[in-house]
Amino acid sequence: MAKKIFIDPGHGGKDPGATGNGLKEKDLTLAIARECRRVLQQEYTGHSIRMSREKDQTVSLRQRTEEANRWGAHFFLSIHINAGGGTGFESYRYVKQGSAMTMAVQKEVHAVVLARSGWKDRRKKWANFHVLRESKMPAVLTENGFIDTGADAAKLKDPAFVKKLGRAHAEGLAKALGLKKKPSSAPPVSAPKRDQLIRVRVNGKQAGAFAQPENAVDLVEKVAKPGAVIDVNMV
Ligand SMILES: [Zn+2]
Protein backbone atom coordinates (compact mmCIF):
# COMPACT_ATOMS: atom_id res chain seq x y z
CA MET A 1 0.00 0.00 0.00
CA ALA A 2 1.20 3.42 -0.85
CA LYS A 3 2.59 5.39 2.08
CA LYS A 4 0.56 8.53 2.71
CA ILE A 5 2.95 11.37 3.46
CA PHE A 6 1.55 14.61 4.85
CA ILE A 7 3.94 17.53 4.33
CA ASP A 8 3.31 20.59 6.47
CA PRO A 9 5.01 23.85 5.44
CA GLY A 10 4.92 25.88 8.67
CA HIS A 11 2.93 29.14 8.96
CA GLY A 12 1.46 30.96 5.93
CA GLY A 13 -1.01 33.70 5.05
CA LYS A 14 -1.55 36.05 7.98
CA ASP A 15 1.10 34.22 9.97
CA PRO A 16 4.54 34.90 8.46
CA GLY A 17 6.32 32.85 11.15
CA ALA A 18 9.76 34.12 12.03
CA THR A 19 11.20 36.97 10.00
CA GLY A 20 14.66 38.41 9.62
CA ASN A 21 17.26 39.51 7.10
CA GLY A 22 14.50 40.25 4.59
CA LEU A 23 13.19 36.69 4.76
CA LYS A 24 9.88 35.24 5.93
CA GLU A 25 9.67 31.76 7.42
CA LYS A 26 6.37 31.04 5.63
CA ASP A 27 7.96 31.49 2.17
CA LEU A 28 10.96 29.28 2.94
CA THR A 29 8.93 26.45 4.47
CA LEU A 30 6.67 26.39 1.40
CA ALA A 31 9.65 26.31 -0.97
CA ILE A 32 11.29 23.46 0.95
CA ALA A 33 8.03 21.51 1.10
CA ARG A 34 7.34 21.94 -2.62
CA GLU A 35 10.80 20.73 -3.56
CA CYS A 36 10.47 17.81 -1.15
CA ARG A 37 7.23 16.83 -2.86
CA ARG A 38 8.67 17.32 -6.36
CA VAL A 39 11.63 15.05 -5.65
CA LEU A 40 9.43 12.36 -4.09
CA GLN A 41 7.00 12.48 -7.00
CA GLN A 42 9.59 12.53 -9.76
CA GLU A 43 12.14 10.14 -8.32
CA TYR A 44 10.33 7.72 -6.01
CA THR A 45 7.32 5.43 -6.07
CA GLY A 46 5.11 3.87 -3.41
CA HIS A 47 3.67 7.00 -1.82
CA SER A 48 0.97 9.60 -2.06
CA ILE A 49 1.49 13.12 -0.80
CA ARG A 50 -0.72 15.81 0.65
CA MET A 51 0.35 19.25 1.84
CA SER A 52 -1.26 21.31 4.59
CA ARG A 53 -1.13 24.29 2.23
CA GLU A 54 -0.24 24.78 -1.41
CA LYS A 55 0.31 28.50 -1.37
CA ASP A 56 0.57 31.51 0.91
CA GLN A 57 -2.58 30.83 2.90
CA THR A 58 -3.59 30.89 6.56
CA VAL A 59 -4.04 27.41 8.06
CA SER A 60 -4.37 26.88 11.83
CA LEU A 61 -2.34 24.25 13.65
CA ARG A 62 -5.56 22.40 14.41
CA GLN A 63 -6.60 22.36 10.76
CA ARG A 64 -3.24 20.87 9.84
CA THR A 65 -3.37 17.95 12.23
CA GLU A 66 -7.11 17.36 11.65
CA GLU A 67 -6.56 17.09 7.92
CA ALA A 68 -3.70 14.64 8.33
CA ASN A 69 -5.72 12.57 10.81
CA ARG A 70 -8.81 12.55 8.58
CA TRP A 71 -6.76 11.50 5.56
CA GLY A 72 -5.13 8.71 7.58
CA ALA A 73 -1.59 9.83 6.81
CA HIS A 74 1.18 7.38 7.64
CA PHE A 75 3.66 10.14 8.32
CA PHE A 76 3.53 13.84 9.20
CA LEU A 77 6.50 16.01 8.31
CA SER A 78 6.45 19.62 9.47
CA ILE A 79 8.98 22.10 8.10
CA HIS A 80 10.05 25.25 9.95
CA ILE A 81 12.83 27.82 10.16
CA ASN A 82 14.32 28.68 13.53
CA ALA A 83 14.78 32.10 15.14
CA GLY A 84 16.04 33.58 18.36
CA GLY A 85 19.76 33.70 17.74
CA GLY A 86 21.65 30.51 17.05
CA THR A 87 22.85 28.60 14.06
CA GLY A 88 22.33 25.23 12.45
CA PHE A 89 19.77 22.50 12.08
CA GLU A 90 17.67 20.64 14.63
CA SER A 91 14.76 18.24 14.44
CA TYR A 92 11.98 17.25 16.82
CA ARG A 93 9.78 14.32 17.71
CA TYR A 94 7.04 14.41 20.36
CA VAL A 95 8.45 12.16 23.08
CA LYS A 96 11.87 10.88 24.02
CA GLN A 97 11.13 7.38 22.74
CA GLY A 98 9.01 7.75 19.64
CA SER A 99 7.66 4.97 17.44
CA ALA A 100 10.10 3.06 15.26
CA MET A 101 8.96 5.04 12.21
CA THR A 102 9.30 8.37 14.00
CA MET A 103 12.81 7.53 15.14
CA ALA A 104 13.80 6.26 11.69
CA VAL A 105 12.54 9.33 9.82
CA GLN A 106 14.08 11.73 12.31
CA LYS A 107 17.41 9.91 12.05
CA GLU A 108 17.47 9.81 8.24
CA VAL A 109 16.08 13.28 7.53
CA HIS A 110 18.39 14.76 10.15
CA ALA A 111 21.46 13.04 8.70
CA VAL A 112 20.70 13.92 5.07
CA VAL A 113 19.91 17.57 5.84
CA LEU A 114 23.18 17.89 7.79
CA ALA A 115 25.15 16.28 4.97
CA ARG A 116 23.55 18.42 2.27
CA SER A 117 23.48 21.74 4.12
CA GLY A 118 26.81 21.69 5.91
CA TRP A 119 25.00 23.13 8.91
CA LYS A 120 25.97 22.73 12.53
CA ASP A 121 24.23 19.79 14.21
CA ARG A 122 21.93 21.10 16.94
CA ARG A 123 20.81 17.53 17.61
CA LYS A 124 17.70 15.42 17.44
CA LYS A 125 15.30 16.60 20.15
CA TRP A 126 11.78 16.06 21.43
CA ALA A 127 9.17 18.67 22.34
CA ASN A 128 5.49 19.16 23.07
CA PHE A 129 4.56 20.91 19.81
CA HIS A 130 0.94 20.88 18.64
CA VAL A 131 1.61 19.19 15.30
CA LEU A 132 3.69 16.45 16.93
CA ARG A 133 1.24 15.87 19.78
CA GLU A 134 -2.07 16.04 17.91
CA SER A 135 -1.12 14.09 14.80
CA LYS A 136 -2.19 10.47 15.24
CA MET A 137 0.64 9.18 13.07
CA PRO A 138 4.43 9.30 13.48
CA ALA A 139 5.58 12.89 13.09
CA VAL A 140 8.78 14.88 12.85
CA LEU A 141 9.37 18.64 12.73
CA THR A 142 12.52 20.23 11.34
CA GLU A 143 14.01 23.65 12.12
CA ASN A 144 16.13 24.64 9.14
CA GLY A 145 18.61 27.29 10.20
CA PHE A 146 18.03 30.60 11.97
CA ILE A 147 16.35 33.31 9.94
CA ASP A 148 17.72 36.02 12.24
CA THR A 149 21.33 34.83 12.07
CA GLY A 150 23.24 36.38 9.19
CA ALA A 151 25.20 33.29 8.13
CA ASP A 152 22.15 31.01 8.10
CA ALA A 153 19.99 33.64 6.38
CA ALA A 154 22.63 34.13 3.67
CA LYS A 155 22.27 30.44 2.79
CA LEU A 156 18.47 30.59 2.98
CA LYS A 157 18.47 33.50 0.53
CA ASP A 158 19.90 31.20 -2.15
CA PRO A 159 17.06 29.34 -3.94
CA ALA A 160 19.46 26.53 -4.88
CA PHE A 161 20.26 26.00 -1.20
CA VAL A 162 16.57 25.96 -0.28
CA LYS A 163 16.03 23.32 -2.97
CA LYS A 164 18.85 21.30 -1.47
CA LEU A 165 16.99 21.34 1.84
CA GLY A 166 13.83 20.15 0.10
CA ARG A 167 15.70 17.32 -1.61
CA ALA A 168 17.33 16.33 1.67
CA HIS A 169 13.93 16.02 3.38
CA ALA A 170 12.69 13.89 0.46
CA GLU A 171 15.70 11.59 0.47
CA GLY A 172 15.61 11.14 4.23
CA LEU A 173 11.91 10.32 4.14
CA ALA A 174 12.36 7.95 1.21
CA LYS A 175 15.13 6.06 2.97
CA ALA A 176 13.28 5.75 6.27
CA LEU A 177 9.97 4.77 4.68
CA GLY A 178 11.60 2.37 2.24
CA LEU A 179 10.33 4.11 -0.91
CA LYS A 180 11.66 2.69 -4.15
CA LYS A 181 13.55 4.84 -6.63
CA LYS A 182 12.08 5.12 -10.09
CA PRO A 183 14.47 3.34 -12.45
CA SER A 184 14.78 6.29 -14.81
CA SER A 185 15.88 8.70 -12.14
CA ALA A 186 19.38 7.36 -11.44
CA PRO A 187 21.76 10.33 -11.55
CA PRO A 188 24.40 10.29 -14.29
CA VAL A 189 27.68 8.88 -13.04
CA SER A 190 30.66 11.11 -13.60
CA ALA A 191 34.01 11.33 -11.91
CA PRO A 192 33.86 13.90 -9.13
CA LYS A 193 36.36 16.69 -8.96
CA ARG A 194 38.33 17.04 -5.76
CA ASP A 195 36.62 20.31 -4.94
CA GLN A 196 33.19 18.70 -5.13
CA LEU A 197 33.84 16.23 -2.36
CA ILE A 198 31.76 16.31 0.78
CA ARG A 199 34.07 16.26 3.76
CA VAL A 200 33.02 14.96 7.17
CA ARG A 201 34.99 15.97 10.25
CA VAL A 202 34.47 14.46 13.67
CA ASN A 203 35.81 16.23 16.74
CA GLY A 204 38.02 18.34 14.49
CA LYS A 205 39.55 15.41 12.57
CA GLN A 206 38.70 14.49 9.00
CA ALA A 207 36.74 11.23 9.03
CA GLY A 208 35.97 10.93 5.34
CA ALA A 209 35.50 12.63 1.98
CA PHE A 210 32.79 11.54 -0.41
CA ALA A 211 31.54 12.27 -3.88
CA GLN A 212 28.09 10.81 -3.17
CA PRO A 213 25.98 12.53 -0.50
CA GLU A 214 24.48 9.21 0.61
CA ASN A 215 27.94 7.94 1.57
CA ALA A 216 28.52 11.04 3.66
CA VAL A 217 25.12 10.43 5.26
CA ASP A 218 26.09 6.86 6.13
CA LEU A 219 29.22 8.07 7.88
CA VAL A 220 27.37 10.86 9.73
CA GLU A 221 24.90 8.26 11.00
CA LYS A 222 27.71 6.01 12.16
CA VAL A 223 29.59 8.69 14.06
CA ALA A 224 26.59 10.59 15.47
CA LYS A 225 27.13 9.62 19.10
CA PRO A 226 26.47 11.83 22.13
CA GLY A 227 29.35 14.28 22.49
CA ALA A 228 30.58 13.93 18.91
CA VAL A 229 31.01 17.24 17.12
CA ILE A 230 30.30 16.67 13.45
CA ASP A 231 31.07 19.13 10.68
CA VAL A 232 29.97 18.46 7.15
CA ASN A 233 31.59 20.61 4.57
CA MET A 234 30.88 20.96 0.91
CA VAL A 235 34.00 22.61 -0.34
ZN1 LIG B 1 7.88 27.96 12.64
Parallel, antiparallel or unpaired: strands 89-93 and 139-146: antiparallel
Residue 35 falls in the annotated catalytic set? no
Lowest mean pLDDT among 82-96, 125-139, 192-206: 192-206
Is the distance from CB of 166 to CB of 97 less than 8 angstroms? no
The answer to whether residue 195 scores a pLDDT higher than 80 is no
Determine the pLDDT at residue 188: 60
Intervals of CATH 3.40.630.40 along the chain? 3-186
Q: What is the CA(202)–ligand 1 centre distance, in A?
A: 30
CA of 116 to the centre of ligand 1 (A): 21
Given this model, what pLDDT does residue 85 score? Answer: 94
pLDDT band at 221 (very low <50, low <70, confident <90, very high): confident
pLDDT higher than threshold 60 for residue 158: yes
Kindly state the average pLDDT of the residues 200-204: 86
pLDDT digits (tens, 9 = 90+) for 63-90: 999 999 999 999 999 999 999 999 999 9
Question: Would you state the pLDDT for residue 187?
Answer: 59
pLDDT digits (tens, 9 = 90+) for 17-28: 999 999 999 999
- Tell me the CA–centroid distance for residue 18 and ligand 1, in Å: 6
Cα 43 to the center of its chain, rounded Å: 17
The pLDDT of residue 198? 83
| Residues 162-178: tens digit of each pLDDT | 999 999 999 999 999 99
pLDDT at position 231 is 82
- Ligand 1 centre from 148 Cα, in Å? 13
Residue 151 CA to residue 119 CA, distance in Å, equals: 10
What fold, for 3-186?
A: Aminopeptidase (3.40.630)
* Residue 126 to residue 79: CA distance in whole angstroms: 15
Q: Which one is catalytic: 143, 171, 214, 221?
A: 143
Q: Report how far ligand 1's centroid is from the alpha carbon of 94 (Å).
A: 16
Task: Give yes or no for residue 192 having a pLDDT over 80.
Answer: no
